[in-house]
Structure 1
Amino acid sequence: MLVARNAEKLDEVANDIRNAGREVLTVAVDLADPGAHARVVEETLARFGRIDALLNIAGAVPQVDLFDMTDAQWDAGFALKLHGARKLTIAAWPALKAANGSVVLISGNSAQFPKAPYAAVGTINAAIVALAKAFADRGIADGVQVNSVLPGPVMTGRRRSYLEHWAPLHDMTVEEATAQFPKEAGIARYGEPEEIADLMAFLVSPGARWMTGSAVRMDGGEVKAI
């Protein structure tokens, strides 16, 4: 089951999955909307009959300075990334409990070093880590495993678009900008989405079943703290 706001992008990914011989269902919905979470769970159970794993990955939070961010921007970030994950996990919990399922919430390594230029990102990511630990505590009794993942700089389509916009403004090629940012972060390169996906696949696999309440950082060594 794939859930996102953009139906066209959902269809692209769904076609790749179908071409690999797998069954997939998509729902184009904004998880910030009331009732969206129940709809997603209902349609999933109607098609597949159970929920074994829930991966909460939503959330493009505006990168705006602490003193420039409006209340609307702040609230929108929390509504999508934090409250969306909270509501969807709660809605899916009975099915996850029945299946002894697993939940992964994507946070970000900024949870461990929030900065003024990215105040909402760091604050929301820290809240997601705390939320995952709270769910994990409940999950011990209910048989539901919950962890969070803290990625560092990953070469997503959104980051690529940002570099394409940023580079000419600073008299640089996209290739030069792509090489510069990892150096400033103190890492060898950007991460790839597939690397984060591999980690999430491990966390919901039988081999990671005793891991719960963990916040797993995968950032190429950007965060130097222990």
Structure 2
Amino acid sequence: MNSLFNLNGKVAIVTGASSGLGADAARAYAQNGANVALFARRKEKLEQVAADIEKMGRKALVIACDVTDEAAVKAGVQEVFDTFGRIDILLNNAGIAIPGGVEDITEAQWIKGMDINVKGPFFMSKYVVPYMRKQKYGKIVNIASVNAIIADKVPVLWRHNYNASKDAVRGLTMGMAASYMQDNITVNSIGPGLFESEMTEGTLFKNDDFMKMYNFNTPASRPGRKGELNGTILYFSSDASSYVTGQYVAVDGGASIV
């Protein structure tokens, strides 16, 4: 059974790898045998994650890159291929949650959210997919959100841009999945519920009223814990999911079913 999740010899790219869920996933890939290319804007943070990976006996490549910059993405992906000779896994994890409803969000904020959450996975996939098609193998995992399928009634929690952009990630996932399965490339998406990260620790986790409401409404009665997203990421990134594509799985303690 463990061989299904074995990533020995594989090369994974993780965006948003400098902290939080992305850094956790990068370490999980390395623990299961993969070499990892780390993409994010903060080089110093990436180097810390790279050091952890290298302590596991795996190779790590740091790529300081803004995923909304097409030229930087193209160059970064080329560097990964030049370094490792292949690209097997792409985890599109970089994201941003801009608070506010359509009445409050500025055009600049709307564009920023769409750029990072949708254009980023588009650019990364655009330049990774050709390598995967040539080798007739690839696993693309897009991090969407539970907020792709559920929304908040309470005004303080409105995130209309986030809702729209993360549902767009689901749509991109389905379109790519239908197109590239013939090349032995699977494309799936994951919808995390509430996890502690840089995006949430200074906002939602400090809002006692929100946390009480979240814990009451969620069947698990708690947020996600560190590492609890990794199992689903590894499933979609490994041969365990060889006949699964175009799917969306919520990892949310049941929040989206009540």
Name the TM-score, length of structure 2 as normaliser: 0.78
Q: Aligned partners of 1:48 and 1:177: how far apart in 2?
A: 48
Alignment correspondent of 1:173: none
Report the counterpart of residue 212 of structure 2 in structure 1.
180
> Which amino acid letter does the alignment assign opposite residue 81 of structure 1?
N
Structure 1, residues 34-54: CA drift from partner, whole Å, max 9, x if none? 312211210100110000010
In 1, Cα distance between equivalents of 2:44 and 2:200: 19
The one-letter amino acid of 1:149's match is I
Comparing 144-153 with 61-70, greater Cα deviation is found at 61-70
2:50 equivalent to 1:14: yes
Q: Which runs of 4+ in 1 moved over 6 A?
A: none
Mapped contact 1:114–1:121 kept (Cα < 8 A): no
Secondary structure in 2 aligned to 1:30?
Answer: coil
The equivalent position to 1:131 in structure 2, one of 139, 159, 172, is: 172
Deviations 1:174-220 (A, max 9, x none): xx679625325424111124111221111111111101000111100
Deviations 1:28-85 (A, max 9, x none): 1111113122112101001100000100001112112221000100001111110110
What's the counterpart of residue 245 of structure 2?
Answer: 212
Q: Which residue of 2 aligns with 1:42?
A: 78
- Do the aligned residues in 1 keep the contact of 2:68 with 2:123 (CA within 8 Å)? no
Higher helix share: 1
- Are 2:140 and 2:186, in contact at CA under 8 Å, matched by a contact in 1? yes
Which ranges of structure 1 fall in alignment gaps of 5 or more residues? 168-175
Name the structure 2 match of 1:107: 144
C-alpha distance in 1 between matches for 2:108 and 2:170: 23
Task: Tell me if 1:79 matches 2:115.
Answer: yes
Of 41, 53, 77, which aligns to 1:5? 41
Q: 1:91 aligns with which of 124, 127, 139?
A: 127
TM-score when normalising by structure 1: 0.89
Residue 15 to residue 219, structure 1, CA distance change in 2 (3 Å): same
1:142 CA displacement: 2.2
Task: Tell me, yes or no, if structure 1 residue 61 matches structure 2 residue 97.
Answer: yes
Q: CA deviation at 1:115?
A: 4.2
Supply the RMSD in Å over aligned alpha carbons.
1.9
**Cα 1:36–1:182, aligned 2, differ >3 Å: closer, same or farther?**
same
Take 1:95 and 1:184, find their aligned partners in 2: how far apart are those partners?
A: 46
Change (3 A) 1:222 1:42: same
Percent of paired sites with the same residue: 28
Name the residue aligned to 2:66: 30
Question: Residue 257 of structure 2 corresponds to which residue in structure 1?
Answer: 224
Question: 2:186 maps to what in 1?
Answer: 145
Partner Cα separation in structure 2 for residue 177 and residue 27 of structure 1: 39
